[in-house]
Structure 1
Amino acid sequence: MDEEAPGEPGGVGDWVVESSRSLGVGGTTVGYDRLTRPDGERAGAGWVEHRASVAIVARHEGDVLFVEEYRPRLRETVLTCPVGSAEREESLAAAGRRELREETGYEAEHVEVLAEHYPVAWLRSTRGAVFADGLRRVGQDLDDSEFVDVHRVPVEEALDRALNGEGPRTAWTLLPLLLAREGDLL
């Protein structure tokens, strides 16, 4: 990791973490930091740390695979690219391959990580945008708590479906689709 050079007084590098509290539950840690800002004022910042995750753009015979499922935290049914968490020590590419197979029932011949980013500022975990193709049907392997329907959306409609969605679910799908299109993969 690159070490940051000290900033000018009152600059970006002058934040000081005065205290931090956290609680780990399962594979997730929730925390709150008390900070001193560059201007000397005190502030607080909450954060969540979880395993890395992936969002998969899977192309199959002129279509993109989407999953439809009820998201209890959102209290609504959403249509998105398949998403999921990486297992301990699992690469983003391996997580994308596994999540695609589990959620959609398709196995990919080719998997490529398009980008890795922080999806939201308060989340101390990265998300990988993964592209998969060369798919063959092998059957879903859902967890007992997962209820997922798979939809094949024509490539030319996929981006419109993400753009015209409502709420946070568009980010789960929009960025990976844009990256795949930019890479001439869709």
Structure 2
Amino acid sequence: MSLVETAIQMRVVYQGELLTIRKDSVSLPDASKATREYVVHPGACVVIPQIRPGLYVFERQFRYPLRQVFIEFPAGKLDKQESALVCAQRELKEETGYSAENWLHLGVMHNCIGYSNEKIEIFLASDLRPGNQALDSGEFLELFEMSLDEAEDAVRKGLLTDAKTITCLFWLRMIEGRHEAKIGSLADQIGR
């Protein structure tokens, strides 16, 4: 059986500066009809700034929709016609002042698949060179350093809840290779 839903009618219900909200009528795999409301997002990048293996630059930033300060890695949306790498390099420089000699694309994440098409490209930036921040107007954040172990502990304690940053921590742990055997055995269990 096909799982694909096919658009019958697509309609924009809100067009903002950053986001578009759509409400589409779709045909389901069993030929019945349904409505899908979702956010169209231009895409984004998140950067893992590595001071040295095991030590990383984080930021604290107030996020208005949840009215609280979050711990995050530097990130931002893609500008029109901008490549993911250029976006990552720009965001690292703007938010932290750092530039990086080495860039590694680790993967992609979709953080809200039930109601958004947002795609976030994940980059590791190493061999950092300090410089001056160039924050956007109205952007306020605080930089600090944490080890991977400290960041994972912050997740366990509920102090770090940002999905893109937690995904980055997963990638870092994979790179370190500490849990390869556990991940492999878990994958075998899931595959059965």
TM-score of Structure 1 vs Structure 2, range by shorter chain: 0.7 to 0.9
Query: After superposition, where does 1:162-177 map in structure 2 within 5 Å?
Result: 162-165=155-158, 169-177=161-169
- Between Structure 1 and Structure 2, how many residues are aligned? 175
Say if 2:127 is the partner of 1:134.
yes
Q: Give distance in 2, aligned partners of 1:185 and 1:148.
A: 31
Query: After superposition, where does 1:105-116 map in structure 2 within 5 Å?
Result: 105-116=97-108
Q: Report if aligned partners of 1:63, 1:155 keep a CA contact under 8 Å in 2.
A: yes
Distance 1:162 1:139, change over 3 A: farther
TM-score (norm 1): 0.84
TM-score (norm 2): 0.82
Distance 1:163 1:104, change over 3 A: farther
Shift of residue 73 of structure 1? 0.9
Q: Which residue of structure 1 lines up, in the alignment, with residue 186 of structure 2?
A: none
Q: 2:39 aligns with which of 24, 36, 48?
A: 48
Q: Give distance in 2, aligned partners of 1:165 and 1:102.
A: 28
Task: Select the structure that is richer in helix.
Answer: 2
**Residue deviations 1:78-125 (CA, integer Å, cap 9, x gap):** 111111112222222221111111111111111111002322212223
**Residue deviations 1:24-81 (CA, integer Å, cap 9, x gap):** 3224221011122222332111111121101111111452111101101111111111
Q: Which residue of structure 2 lines up, in the alignment, with residue 99 of structure 1?
A: 91
Shift of residue 163 of structure 1? 4.0
> Percent same amino acid at aligned positions?
25
Query: After superposition, where does 1:4-153 map in structure 2 within 5 Å?
Result: 8=1, 11-13=2-4, 15-22=5-12, 23-61=14-52, 62-121=54-113, 122-153=115-146
Q: Give distance in 2, aligned partners of 1:54 and 1:96.
A: 6
Shift of residue 138 of structure 1? 0.2
